[in-house]
Amino acid sequence: MRCPLSLAALLALAGTPAAAEVTVSVERPMSPPAWALLERALLEANTQACRGFAGRYQDARGYLRCTERWGAIGGPADAIACCTDWPLLHALGAPDDVLALYKKAWEGHLVQYSAARTREVPLARDGMYYKEFPVMFDWLHNAEGLTPFNVQGLSDPDNRAFRRRTRRFAGFYLGEDPGAPNYDREHRIIRGLFNGSRGPLLRKATAVDWAGDPLEVENRFRLRHGDRSYGEMLQHFKGYTDIVGDTPLNLLSTTLALNAYMLENDEKYRRWLLEYVDAWRERMTANDNLIPTTIGLDGKVGGACGGKWYGGVYGWAFSITDPRTGAIAHRNRHDKGFVGFMNAYLLTGDDRYLAPWRKQIDAVNAQKKEVDGEVMYPTMHGDKGWYAYTPRKYARNARELYYLSMKAEDRARVGPDRWLAYLEGEDPGYPEDALRADLERVRARVKAMWADLTTPDTRLADDPVVFGMPDITSLVELTTGGLPLRRLGSVLHCRLRYFDPATRRAGLPEDVAALVEKQTADSVSVTLVNVNQFAPRTLVVQAGAYAEHEVVEVEVGGRKEKGDGTHFGVRLAPGAGARLTLRMRRYANQPRLAFPWDAGRVMSDRERP
């Protein structure tokens, strides 16, 4: 290892100018570890799977070959959910055509569902999308469709269409579009569970609003919820009525403002996000550290649900009857709102956005009881108190909570977790096991895709989702030390991200593999290796997905170099590798979407692609 070249010198070798930073040059040979070869194989396998999916299910316009319909079953969100994680796969290092295929699908589905119309559902008779956004629906589904868009900026931050949409979408919630009066600034609420580019739905929802127009089911479609007829679909949504007023699911909309802030550096987006999350934080604290699931149009807890803090669709008391079996199904989705608190923490690093959720976990588990000698924990709360007890402790968001705080007390709430155990030095076999498992999932997924016998007229948009979603959990955890995008509507939370200065793009350069082996509150250790035995590779390592962390020191081979910013360069000789230990200050900077060599430079719209 030789130190230092400046990052400017390193990037000059690749033809890319940049501000001077620390650079390390690694020359010590490292026989390619199995994990490194598996990482490169998994990137390639997922790439091939995306290409195969696009050829099988998308037409030349980027439209999904399916029967278009509105609703929670096979609706517009499902059409683009087929491409969930495609932009992230590219940002990890997959070839450029993966990003191009995603963008084609994104553009295609916007046109496809702007033109698609309902007959019986009033909400979408003039188009299911308006201004390139859902007209009005719940954020369990809105976020499902926006999940890939929310991470497009990792690879494509200067795309003009992406930037315009990011500003427009955020504006629907900042009160900037008079046709979309979603937000009430006086009461700090989003005014309904159904909301979007045409504003909120300020009446009780009907089963038709949720299920969409009548359709033939028997011998034609296989519905994912298991319903056997349109009548059963209506029965499925019979209880989905109480949607007026605010709900924790609406916190998923804050990702729109977060992305706009990271692109534009306009304080109004940050201010609105924190204002809205603070309103929920205060309600949660006032409600004995339990998040209320319905807020009235007057801003009061309980709203149109008779003052019951636990009411509303997807609330603490939302238990419905499965029309197929007659069994009770519990559909409490309050925990999805934690994404808004994660966004606030990314902006501030302030533990006040984590403390209420930590206390909520403890408060729910304090309601435990013993049943036939076994300790049971509740998951629901209704008119008669806590119910729906299970043997497992309530631990919703515990893993994310610990990842953000890195506090020992939060680690104890997570329980057994192989990835965390590996980072703690207790499960050395995890990387290879996880990578091989993801590779097997890709193989099985592609095999099932080619065996699929559906045709566009017998296929709903949610049918091919299982074939389109890449298997990259291990790549996110192991290369970036980050949280996979399991949470709808989330941005990427990670310790390290990589850029290729030679091609001026995000992601690990060709032939380079990375393994995050340990991370603490103020450090991370990563091994970087060039599996190419004949050509050197250069890369830029960034602290955090959005340069939110700061590098304090870089140690390689016993030699330490002082860090002086958010990123540093590495030159890997042919077949070389090394372990780097970084000391860092987490959440030291405001997050941004600019590439390292563009940091601090404002591009005009004319310059943007």
What are 433-491's pLDDT values in tens digits? 999 999 999 999 999 999 999 999 999 999 999 999 999 999 999 999 999 987 788 99
- Model pLDDT, residue 3: 41
- Model pLDDT, residue 41: 98
* pLDDT level of residue 18 (50, 70, 90 thresholds): very low
- Model pLDDT, residue 5: 38
- Model pLDDT, residue 562: 86
Decide: 59 and 127 in contact? Cβ < 8 Å: no
Give every CB contact of residue 407 below 8 A, 6+ residues apart in sequence: 521
User: How many of the other CB atoms lie within 10 Å of CB of 457?
Assistant: 10
Mean pLDDT throughout 212-220? 93
> For residue 588, what is the DSSP state?
-
- Model pLDDT, residue 502: 96
Q: What are phi and psi of 560, to 5 degrees?
A: -110, 140
**What is the domain partition of the chain in residue ranges?**
2-30+495-598
For the chain, give the longest Cα–Cα distance: 71
Using CA atoms, how far apart are residues 553 and 543, in angstroms rounded to an integer?
Answer: 12
Mean pLDDT throughout 276-302? 97
Pairing mode, strands 567-572 and 22-26: parallel
Residue with tokens 């850029």: 499
**One-letter identity of residue 112:** Q
pLDDT(16) > 50: no
- Identify the residue with better confidence: 4 or 580: 580
DSSP three-state, residue 496 = strand
Question: What is the DSSP track for 77-110?
Answer: HHHHHTTTTHHHHHHHT--HHHHHHHHHHHHHHH
**One-letter identity of residue 229:** S
Nearest Cα neighbor of 385 from 362, 369, 361 is 369
pTM over 0.85: yes
- Model pLDDT, residue 69: 96
Mean pLDDT throughout 47-59? 98
Q: Compute the 3-state secondary structure of the chain and give helix, strand, coil in percent, each to the nearest 5.
A: 40, 20, 45
- Model pLDDT, residue 17: 37
> For residue 184, what is the DSSP state?
E
pLDDT(13) > 80: no
Using CA atoms, how far apart are residues 217 and 220, in angstroms rounded to an integer?
Answer: 5
Using CA atoms, how far apart are residues 498 and 93, in angstroms rounded to an integer?
Answer: 8
User: Considering the domain 2-30+495-598, what is its CATH architecture?
Assistant: Sandwich (2.60)
Q: Check residue 99 and give left, alpha or beta (phi > 0: left; psi -120 to 50: alpha).
A: alpha
How much of the chain exceeds pLDDT 70, in percent? 95
Using CA atoms, how far apart are residues 116 and 96, in angstroms rounded to an integer?
Answer: 30
Angle at 565 between CA 562 and CA 569, to 5 degrees: 75
- Model pLDDT, residue 8: 53
What are 66-116's pLDDT values in tens digits? 999 999 999 999 999 999 999 999 999 999 999 999 999 999 999 999 999
- Identify the residue with better confidence: 67 or 303: 67
What are 369-389's pLDDT values in tens digits? 999 999 999 999 999 999 999
pLDDT(1) > 60: no
What are 157-181's pLDDT values in tens digits? 999 999 999 999 999 999 999 999 9
Mean pLDDT throughout 333-344? 97
- Model pLDDT, residue 21: 59
pLDDT(225) > 80: no
What are 504-527's pLDDT values in tens digits? 999 999 999 999 999 999 999 999
Residue with tokens 């649900």: 305
Decide: 80 and 105 in contact? Cβ < 8 Å: yes
Pairing mode, strands 512-520 and 380-382: unpaired
Using CA atoms, how far apart are residues 136 and 571, in angstroms rounded to an integer?
Answer: 50
How much of the chain exceeds pLDDT 90, in percent? 89
State how far Cα 119 lies from the chain centre. 33
